[in-house]
């Protein structure tokens, strides 16, 4: 059954909205669990839910071990490396604004590699849009990062996981587009999260206490990240990678910091400066140019 055109047009906007709530979930949950322990519990629930759904609906599993391997690799890159890096950087004290700016370089890095790895042509208009989008993101997060004093010596320790996250989401997007753009979202989610759980839990067992405070805030954050992020947003990301170019998909990540700032303003009464609002408008214009290109 073909996807309705209206839903197809709304998918990028819905993805951005859901993906942007990830920082909010981290804000609620990380005070009560260490980052990799938090993610491990999240992955366990996703695997259980999606396995039950796949079995109940008799969803098709990968046709070959090779296909399963490719799907698993994308999961490790997008889940274990990207999410693990973001959560660890926030846990180490890196301001969310700086973390968003680091990961916000992903569209430019993806565009630089898409030609060589995927044979995609990045037009001058797309490059202009990507540069404009990055400038807008810099304005948005810069207005917040300036008020967060970070010691220079400690900054490197905080930045390493964020840089790993940047490489993970970039490599994961390109790898999936190249080797496994199409797979069943139900069984594919299980195949993506299983190796992510194995790697994340192994590292957590060696580096963390793996203790969780089961407060109301933590349960809410865990439920939100499982249902809305790991099932909802990741499924939308897989659909977008399936149907669009890597550069077009990556450009959407420019909209995450502005959208997160708007959600934080609505939920936590965080102030939005005129500079931040201007940056949002510039970022949206840059994404429009990049996707039109």
pLDDT at 199 over 90: yes
Place of tokens 């969803």: 59
Q: What is the pLDDT of residue 157?
A: 80
Higher pLDDT, 188 or 125: 188
The alpha carbon of residue 73 and the mean position of all alpha carbons in its chain are separated, in whole angstroms, by 16
Judge contact between 254 and 283, C-beta under 8 A.
yes
Q: Which of 147-156, 199-208, 219-228, 273-282 has the lowest mean pLDDT?
A: 147-156
Q: What is the DSSP letter of 255?
A: G
Q: What's this model's pTM, rounded to 2 decimal places?
A: 0.80
Q: What is the pLDDT of residue 50?
A: 93
Measured CA to CA, the distance from residue 41 to residue 39 in angstroms comes to 5
Measured CA to CA, the distance from residue 39 to residue 18 in angstroms comes to 17
Query: Alpha-carbon dihedral of residues 199, 200, 202, 204, nearest 10 degrees?
Result: 160
Judge contact between 46 and 226, C-beta under 8 A.
yes
Higher pLDDT, 4 or 211: 211
Q: State the sign of the Cα–Cα–Cα–Cα dihedral 230, 28, 272, 157.
A: negative
Highest mean pLDDT among 42-46, 118-122, 150-154: 42-46
Q: What is the pLDDT of residue 1?
A: 43
Tokens of 82: 């990207």
Q: What's the first-to-final CA gap in the chain, in angstroms?
A: 29
Judge contact between 169 and 132, C-beta under 8 A.
no
Q: Which of 97-101, 200-204, 239-243, 283-287 has the lowest mean pLDDT?
A: 97-101
The 10s digit of each residue's pLDDT in 123-180 is 777 778 777 877 877 776 666 555 455 555 666 788 889 889 989 988 998 899 889 8
How high does pLDDT run on average in the chain? 82
Tokens of 6: 């209206």
């Amino acid at each position: 059954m073909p996807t309705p055109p209206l839903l197809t047009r709304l998918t990028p906007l819905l993805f951005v909205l859901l993906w942007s709530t990830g920082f909010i979930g981290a804000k609620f949950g990380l005070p009560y669990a260490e980052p990799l322990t938090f993610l491990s519990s999240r992955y366990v629930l996703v695997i259980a839910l999606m396995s039950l759904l796949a079995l109940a609906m008799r969803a098709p599993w990968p046709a070959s071990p090779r296909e399963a391997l490719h799907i698993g690799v994308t999961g490790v890159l997008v889940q274990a490396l990207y999410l693990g890096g973001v959560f660890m950087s926030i846990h180490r004290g890196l301001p969310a604004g700086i973390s968003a700016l680091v990961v916000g370089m992903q569209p430019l890095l993806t565009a630089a590699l898409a030609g060589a790895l995927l044979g995609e042509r990045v037009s001058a208009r797309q490059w202009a849009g990507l540069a404009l989008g990055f400038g807008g993101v810099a304005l948005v997060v810069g207005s917040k990062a300036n008020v967060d004093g970070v010691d220079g010596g400690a900054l490197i320790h905080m930045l390493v996981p964020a840089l790993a996250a940047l490489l993970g989401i970039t490599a994961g997007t390109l790898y999936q587009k190249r080797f496994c753009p199409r797979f069943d979202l139900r069984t594919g989610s299980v195949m993506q999260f299983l190796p992510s759980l194995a790697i994340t839990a192994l590292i957590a067992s060696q580096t963390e206490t793996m203790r969780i405070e089961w407060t109301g805030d933590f349960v809410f954050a865990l439920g939100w990240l499982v249902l809305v992020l790991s099932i909802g947003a990741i499924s939308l990301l897989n659909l977008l990678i399936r149907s669009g170019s890597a550069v077009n998909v990556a450009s959407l990540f420019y909209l995450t910091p502005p959208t997160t700032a708007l959600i934080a303003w609505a939920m936590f009464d965080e102030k939005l400066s005129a500079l931040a609002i201007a940056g949002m408008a510039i970022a949206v214009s840059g994404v429009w140019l990049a996707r039109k290109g």
